[in-house]
Amino acid sequence: MTEDLPPEPVASLLAAGHPERVWELLPSLTFGDALRVASLLHRTGWRPGGRGNGHGDAHPRRSAALFDLLVRTNQQVGLGRSGRDAASALRFPPVARGLTGLGIATAAQPSLAPDTGLIALVHRDGSFRVDHLTIWDPWSCRRVWWHPLPRGLGGGRFTRLLFAADGQIFACHRPDRFPREPERLLVFGYDAGSLVVRELDSAPSGFYALAPMPAGPDEAVCAVHADGEMTVWPAVPDGAPGHPRPPSVRLPIPAGHELDVGLRPDANLAVSADGERICLVTRRRPGTARQVTVADRRTGKELAAATLESAVAEVSFLPDGETAASRAGSTVSFFGGSAPVADWPVGPAQRVLFLPDGEHVLVAHASGSIEVHTWPDRALVGFLSGPEFLITLTVSPAGDRVVALGERGRVQTTVWDSAVLRLLHRPLAEAAPRAPALVRAMSAQAAGDRWELQLRALAALLEHRPQPGRRE
């Protein structure tokens, strides 16, 4: 526990003998500072609702109970001098978590639907050769739709699975029996309640990288062929006769390089938030050198490039739409923007996710621990508790939902409303109206562990903010 407090106006009010006014300031503080203020007031002997405190509280009993809870919480937590050290930083469990009961059948990562937050995954039932496409709701932890896949797709593996912004599901499929046979680019649709599978490329010849296009009326997914040919496939309503093939654009691939195909859609291809820039990874054959290139989506013109001597784990764009980020090993590098950005060592991460709000970055580890950093100062402000054996972390385009998936025999899902991230470092008065209910849900998930008391205190503070000057 520490006595470090914001110097103004807390220190001035205490020096002037107005502890009741310090109590009224709690909503303008962060949660960590509110805990320290309550403990300092406790040590001075002041208590809301007490005699002679000069405080006309509208709810003295509730204020006294809240005060005692904050003091007890700070005694348990023992915040460091800044309130942001890793040992004492607040850790948020998910708002909801579930075990799907489904095992992933192939190397394809489950994919999040941008509009609804549903999850698409391919799984196998008891029969080794029968695959199913399942739609899962991580909020209610239930399966909302499933359908067996055509027998012609059995025995192969889905290397990529992608939920596009228009609700269509795109996939790359490769036969196991013939590993050098080209991938098939497929789209799953619905017609009269039945699953319809269409093959987009009538003459496949290699491998693909996929990335979702930003939500819009006409474009669904960006597909880049191994030789650098890029096609933006349009959105087609359910029941439509098919996808007309749009014109292609040739992206810049250096001589001797080919597309570095990864198992995850975000491993080798990314599209900026405005849909105007493409970031892709190519690999020299033979050799280990990679090149990360940012190109104009419409003309294919190279805008920026960086050469790396090791494998690239993932690429993405910052919310500014210009700066690209690539992670190789434990370091995130940035290039292509109007201002230089220093490299960022993040350790052995599984995923680094820049949220659309431009304020937060999530660094996920295979253990399930997810670090929450503020951006651009990169300060660690707290943690999220994801599933063990975390395999992916994703966010909706609007930035309001964060979903993590893990697999330990069966697929596990954890989900957060991104409104809770601001509670880690912003004044409590800025909390969203739904924040108290979200914190109560997280408190229920944390029942019995060391974070339950902190979440109970945070929920109580959000629901009963100290008010000045009114009496019951």
Triad 235, 236, 239: Cα angle to 5°:
160
Going 258 to 260 to 266 to 270, the CA torsion angle's sign is negative
The per-residue pLDDT for 219 is 83
CATH number at residue 123: 2.130.10.10
Per the domain annotation, does 432 fall within a domain?
A: no
Most confident by average pLDDT, 239-253, 394-408, 409-423: 409-423
pLDDT above 70 covers what percent of the chain? 80
In this structure, the answer to whether residues 28 and 153 fall within a common structural domain is no
In this structure, the answer to whether residues 95 and 147 fall within a common structural domain is yes
Per the domain annotation, does 166 fall within a domain?
A: yes
pLDDT at 51 over 80: no
Confidence of residue 303 (pLDDT cuts 50, 70, 90): very high
Confidence of residue 1 (pLDDT cuts 50, 70, 90): very low
Say how many C-beta atoms besides its own lie within 10 A of residue 45's C-beta. 9
Domain, as residue range, for 259? 91-424
Mean pLDDT, the chain, rounded, equals 81
In this structure, the answer to whether residues 31 and 107 fall within a common structural domain is no
Residue 228 DSSP class:
S
Per the domain annotation, does 469 fall within a domain?
A: no
In this structure, the answer to whether residues 20 and 160 fall within a common structural domain is no
- What would the pLDDT profile of 175-199 be if each residue is shown by its tens digit? 765 556 778 888 887 666 678 888 8
Per the domain annotation, does 161 fall within a domain?
A: yes
pLDDT above 90 covers what percent of the chain? 26
In this structure, the answer to whether residues 307 and 456 fall within a common structural domain is no
Report residue 100: phi and psi, to 5°.
-70, -20
The per-residue pLDDT for 204 is 60
> How far is the CA of 204 from the CAs of 48, 173, 184, 209, 285, in angstroms?
73, 11, 6, 13, 21
The per-residue pLDDT for 471 is 39
In this structure, the answer to whether residues 163 and 251 fall within a common structural domain is yes
Q: What is the maximal distance between C-alpha atoms in the chain?
A: 85
In this structure, the answer to whether residues 156 and 34 fall within a common structural domain is no
For residue 15, with 0-12 CB atoms within 10 Å meaning exposed, 13-18 middle and 19 or more buried, which class applies? exposed
Per the domain annotation, does 472 fall within a domain?
A: no
Confidence of residue 81 (pLDDT cuts 50, 70, 90): very low
Most confident by average pLDDT, 122-131, 362-371, 387-396: 362-371
The H or E element containing residue 344 is strand 344-345
Model-level pTM? 0.87
Per the domain annotation, does 282 fall within a domain?
A: yes
**Of the ranges 11-25, 106-120, 405-419, 429-443, which one carries the lowest mean pLDDT score?**
106-120
In this structure, the answer to whether residues 28 and 154 fall within a common structural domain is no
In this structure, the answer to whether residues 182 and 282 fall within a common structural domain is yes
In this structure, the answer to whether residues 164 and 138 fall within a common structural domain is yes
pLDDT at 403 over 80: yes
Confidence of residue 243 (pLDDT cuts 50, 70, 90): low
Peptide bond into 466 cis (omega under 30): no
The per-residue pLDDT for 58 is 56
What's the rounded mean pLDDT across residues 230-241?
72
- What would the pLDDT profile of 334-376 be if each residue is shown by its tens digit? 988 877 789 999 999 999 999 999 999 999 998 999 999 999 9
Per the domain annotation, does 347 fall within a domain?
A: yes
Per the domain annotation, does 435 fall within a domain?
A: no
In this structure, the answer to whether residues 149 and 57 fall within a common structural domain is no
The per-residue pLDDT for 287 is 76
The per-residue pLDDT for 125 is 61
Instruction: Please state the domain count of the chain.
Output: 2
List all residues 6 or more positions away from 51 whose beta carbon is below 8 Å from its beta carbon.
none
- The C-alpha atoms of residue 240 and residue 191 are separated, in whole angstroms, by 9
The per-residue pLDDT for 436 is 92
The per-residue pLDDT for 100 is 66
In this structure, the answer to whether residues 39 and 147 fall within a common structural domain is no
Exposure string over 443-466, b if 16+ CB within 10 A, otherwise e: bebbeeeebbbbbbbbbbbbeeeb
**Of the ranges 151-165, 288-302, 418-432, which one carries the lowest mean pLDDT score?**
151-165
- The C-alpha atoms of residue 418 and residue 382 are separated, in whole angstroms, by 13
Higher pLDDT, 263 or 256: 256
What's the rounded mean pLDDT across residues 427-448?
90
